[in-house]
Amino acid sequence: MASEEMEQLVRREYTQGFVTDIESDTAPPGLTEDTIAFISQKKNEPDWMLQWRLEAYHQWLKMESPSWAHLDYPPIDYQAISYFSAPKRPEDRPQSLDEVDPKLLETYEKLGIPLHERAALAGVAVDAVFDSVSVATTFKDKLADAGVIFCSISEAIREHPELIKKYLGTVVPRGDNYFAALNAAVFTDGSFVYIPEGVTCPMELSTYFRINAANTGQFERTLIICEKQAQVSYLEGCTAPMRDENQLHAAVVELVAMEDAYIKYSTVQNWYPGDENGKGGIYNFVTKRGDCRGDRSRISWTQVETGSAITWKYPSCLLRGDGSKGEFYSVAVTNGRQQADTGTKMIHIGKNTSSTIVSKGIAAGRSDQSYRGLVKISPRAENARNFTQCDSLLIGDKCGAHTFPYQEISNSKAMVEHEATTSKIGEDQLFYCKSRGIDEEDAVSMIVNGFCKDVFQELPMEFAVEAEALLSVTLEGSVG
């Protein structure tokens, strides 16, 4: 590839960086008990929820920000962040797409995700989150017929307190880690999904997150519960406009799968990674955990991570039910000065549990990327089985790719395998493609897509298309 051409692609601007000018009802920066009371009040929450948040806040105060990750970023000033931002007029929120602020719809247009079209064409119910308040929820009736509850978490706190009280914080306790405690104290929105016994959710559920107002951290909280023999596929996609100041994002996702239930959780994340000098960009500290509570339950995490300046994310599975199954498929791409420390934890507790981990890391530019994973086989987990594969591809000589897989095995009938490789794109592969008339850029795209194939084929169709496109844009330019 010609080097100027390569340079151009590398310097490509973040095409989704634009700012929609909507007045926000934003809390002043800072975090105190008053801030939490303000959030709780804005959300019309019952008192028990406020108390729950305050307890989390007090736990958070006693905790220290984790420093073990292979990440380098300046300390975060939690008092400089505004913890609540909602589009104006939260009290008369639009009930249908027609009532949605045209500017908001425009934002989605720019992203290439026309909400109504997408919803209609793809048959996907979209719970769009613009900043922190859900502004549109479609296909609710169809879901209601099936008995599925799909709403914002704020609504669930008001409408389904019994389910929230029963499940919230049971997978990721408030004091689980620093960022989870922070999230529990100040979460503003997120999705709630409840699939009743025996129901296969009639459509794929999808939420588009979008961070918009400057200086506003976004603290999503998602809770998905699948009762016995229920199934759901949930899609989470993210994009954020260009900013100079770092934006903090600390989300918590909790999944509960009862007997024979199956939850598939897919994420495409392309938040603003910062400019070529590492300025700006999102700090993404996410706690995602699935609890396979019932026998033969199954939780599958699939993620395509291309954005964020800092990623700290370990979607995990607690395999408690006998014969339960956990899966983690990940493609992480870092370019520029991005840093990602990501991986998974598979905790085998039940008998005959199995887990599969496939992680593909691609590091380019001056980025740094780590896979950090834990496979734990507890003494009771008879016949547990794990297969882990993590491969890294390095593009350029200024980036780094690291692997930190932990394995703790205390059962003699367990089978645990781990494989990792690190290499660059093979000259011979490139030569092979080129000798058949494929230009270098296409060849690289082909090889990288092939490298990620194991993960992409796990993605739902709509996401797979988006993921491949994302990968092409994020990466191709940096290949030389």
Partner 1 sequence: MSQVQGFLDQLGARQPLDAEPSWIAARRQAGAARFEAVGFPGRKDEEWKYTDVSAIARQSFTLADSNELSAEQCDAFSIGIDAYRLVFVDGIFNSSLSDVDALGSDVTVEPLSRALADNHEAVGGQLGRLNNVDFSPFSALNTAFMGEGAVIRIGRRVVLDKPVYLLFVSRHHETPVMSHPRILIDAASQSQVTVIEHYTGDSEAANLTNVVSEVFTGKGAQVVHYRLQEAATSEFHISSLHIEQTRDSHFRSFNLNLGAAIARNDIVAELNDENAVCDYYGLFFGRGRQHMDNHTKVHHNAPRTFSNENYKGILDDRARGVFNGLVHIKRDAQQVRGYQSNANLLLSDRAEIDTKPELLIYADDVQCSHGTTTGQLDEKAIFALRARGIDEAMARGLLTLAFAGEVMESVTLPSIATRIERAVAGKLPDRFNLQDLVEAADA
| Minimum separation from the CB atom of position 13 to partner 1 (A) | 25
Q: Work out the number of other CB atoms within 10 angstroms of the CB of residue 220.
A: 24
Pairing of strands 191-195, 368-377: unpaired
Q: Which is nearer to partner 1, 167 or 312 (CB)?
A: 312
Q: Which is nearer to partner 1, 160 or 418 (CB)?
A: 418
Q: Which is nearer to partner 1, 228 or 418 (CB)?
A: 418
| Minimum separation from the CB atom of position 306 to partner 1 (A) | 19
The CA distance from 39 to 187, in Å, is 8
Q: Which is nearer to partner 1, 231 or 389 (CB)?
A: 389
Determine contact, residues 125/206, Cβ cutoff 8 Å.
yes
| Minimum separation from the CB atom of position 382 to partner 1 (A) | 8
End-to-end CA distance of the chain: 6
- Give the distance from CA 309 to its chain's centroid: 14
Q: Which is nearer to partner 1, 36 or 375 (CB)?
A: 375
| Minimum separation from the CB atom of position 138 to partner 1 (A) | 45
* Amino acid at residue number 338: Q
The CA distance from 115 to 208, in Å, is 10
Lookup: tokens for 174 = 């408030």
Query: Measuring CA to CA, how many Å separate 363 from each of 151, 256, 262, 343, 344?
Result: 37, 33, 32, 15, 19
Q: Work out the number of other CB atoms within 10 angstroms of the CB of residue 472.
A: 16
Q: What is the DSSP string of 185-246?
A: HH--B-EEEEE-TTPBPSS-EEEEEE--STTB-B-BEEEEEE-TT-EEEEEEEEE----SS-
Determine contact, residues 258/227, Cβ cutoff 8 Å.
yes
Interface positions with partner 1 (CB under 8 A)? 68, 379, 392, 394-424
Q: Which is nearer to partner 1, 21 or 397 (CB)?
A: 397
Helix axes 461-475, 440-451, angle to 10 degrees: 130
The CA distance from 372 to 63, in Å, is 22
| Minimum separation from the CB atom of position 174 to partner 1 (A) | 23
Query: Measuring CA to CA, how many Å separate 98 from each of 101, 105, 353, 393?
Result: 8, 10, 48, 46
Q: Which is nearer to partner 1, 68 or 98 (CB)?
A: 68
Q: Which is nearer to partner 1, 19 or 415 (CB)?
A: 415
| Minimum separation from the CB atom of position 22 to partner 1 (A) | 43
| Minimum separation from the CB atom of position 411 to partner 1 (A) | 6
| Minimum separation from the CB atom of position 461 to partner 1 (A) | 33
**Vertex 425 angle, CA 269 and 394, to 5°:** 55
Determine contact, residues 203/123, Cβ cutoff 8 Å.
yes
Q: Which is nearer to partner 1, 202 or 396 (CB)?
A: 396
Cβ neighbours for 403, distance < 8 A, ≥ 6 positions apart: 370, 371, 390, 392, 420, 422
Q: Which is nearer to partner 1, 169 or 278 (CB)?
A: 278
| Minimum separation from the CB atom of position 9 to partner 1 (A) | 18
Cβ neighbours for 2, distance < 8 A, ≥ 6 positions apart: none
| Minimum separation from the CB atom of position 198 to partner 1 (A) | 37
| Minimum separation from the CB atom of position 298 to partner 1 (A) | 23
Cβ neighbours for 121, distance < 8 A, ≥ 6 positions apart: none
Q: Which is nearer to partner 1, 253 or 319 (CB)?
A: 319
| Minimum separation from the CB atom of position 403 to partner 1 (A) | 4
* Amino acid at residue number 126: V
The CA distance from 98 to 89, in Å, is 16
Q: Which is nearer to partner 1, 398 or 453 (CB)?
A: 398
Q: Which is nearer to partner 1, 200 or 389 (CB)?
A: 389
Per DSSP, 350 falls in state: S
Q: How many CA atoms lie within 13 A of 302 on its CB side?
A: 23
- Give the distance from CA 435 to its chain's centroid: 40
| Minimum separation from the CB atom of position 469 to partner 1 (A) | 25
